[in-house]
Amino acid sequence: MRKISRRDFLKNLGLGTAGLSLVASPALASESHDKITGEKLPAKIRKVKETYTVCAFCGCGCGIILYTNNDNKIVYCEGDPDHPINEGTICSKGNAIIDAYNTVEKKGNRVINKLRVTKPLYRAPGSTKWEEKSWDWVLAEVAKRVKATRDATFEEKDDKGVTVNRTTAMAALGSASLDNEENYLLHKMFRAWGLLNIDHHARL
């Protein structure tokens, strides 16, 4: 076996590392394709829009970066390396979030789901159709109905005269996409309303 000096070892190591970096560099990649649609993906150094957001699949709150092309279509997703929770890592569910708005045709092709709801919809009592409403209208309507229900059903004392300050006419079901701080504030708000029926969909 031929002996190699420390100097030659470090020199060869440096050359090998530089060669691997050039091969793996997205700037020199001739072309890359979306594994699902087969479309060519722009390299990260090209002009694609970066959007920093939080994964919506579970309660971990991992940060992700979405890359969209000129047509505002998501073409790539990766973990946010600056996020304190996942520090750039991403699980298989989070990596598949770019496929959340797609559906699979009979031929096996993935296309954008035309039935996906993207705006608030409201169906009036007795109506057979849905109407598009603004978020301002929806939030105001929800607040109005919550107050009306609470006022009509609030109990200060039970049958035995014990102070209870409660309403059993409403319930709250939490979301796994909320973090600890959001859950803390929502729980305090629901308790202030007098709700007893508070649960979480992950437990159900």
Return the domain boundaries, the chain: 29-112, 117-146, 154-204
Tell me phi and psi for residue 160, to 5 degrees. Answer: -95, 5
Q: Which residues contact 63 (CB under 8 A, 6 or more apart)?
A: 52, 53, 54, 55, 79, 80, 82, 83, 85, 86
Does residue 121 contact residue 132 with C-beta atoms inside 8 Å?
yes
Fold of 29-112: Phosphorylase Kinase; domain 1 (3.30.200)
Beta-bridge partner residues of 173 = 199
CA distance linking residue 155 with residue 194, whole number of Å: 9
Q: Model's pTM, two decimal places? A: 0.56
Q: Can you tell me the distance from the alpha carbon of 203 to that of 134, in angstroms, rounded to the nearest whole number?
A: 32
Q: 132-174, pLDDT tens digit by residue?
A: 999 999 999 999 999 999 999 999 998 899 999 999 999 998 8
Q: What is the pLDDT of residues 85-130, one digit of tens each?
A: 989 999 988 888 887 777 777 887 777 788 888 899 999 999 999 9
Query: Among the residues of 25-129, which ranges form H helices?
Result: 92-95
Q: E strand or H helix at 79, and its extent?
A: strand 74-79
